[in-house]
Amino acid sequence: KNQVEQSPQSLIILEGKNCTLQCNYTVSPFSNLRWYKQDTGRGPVSLTIMTFSENTKSNGRYTATLDADTKQSSLHITASQLSDSASYICVVSASQGGSEKLVFGKGTKLTVNP
């Protein structure tokens, strides 16, 4: 069964600190992995899209890593800011029966406190 598991479910950190969010997936065949940021009451916004051949991809203070062998990804946030408070959703693209589908994780809720 195609699944995406994210950990932790929630995380509280102080402003300026770094943090790492985890994503494990059992999706095959794998097409790509995406990280989205969703602010409260808003729609998800794409942070990164990583293909099989990409190990690391950065978007400002956000750095995503992908280990396709262990089927794990992480999202590292450097020097956190209050505006980083949001849910972060890991999404894996799978190919099934000739059609593509996206498998969504349940998200990690990050709170950055001053």
Binding mask 14-33 for other proteins (x = CB under 8 A): -----------------xx-
50 scored as a contact of other proteins (CB under 8 A): no
| 107 near other proteins (CB under 8 A) | yes
Question: CA-CA distance, 68 to 33, in Å (whole number)?
Answer: 10
Which residue of 89, 108, 110, 112 would you call a contact of other proteins, by CB under 8 A? 89
Q: Distance of CA 54 to CAs 38, 66, 68, 73, 104, Å?
A: 24, 7, 9, 11, 20
Task: Compute the least distance from the CB of residue 43 to other proteins, in Å.
Answer: 3
Give the footprint of other proteins on this chain (CB under 8 A): 4, 31-32, 34, 41-46, 49, 89, 93, 95, 100-107
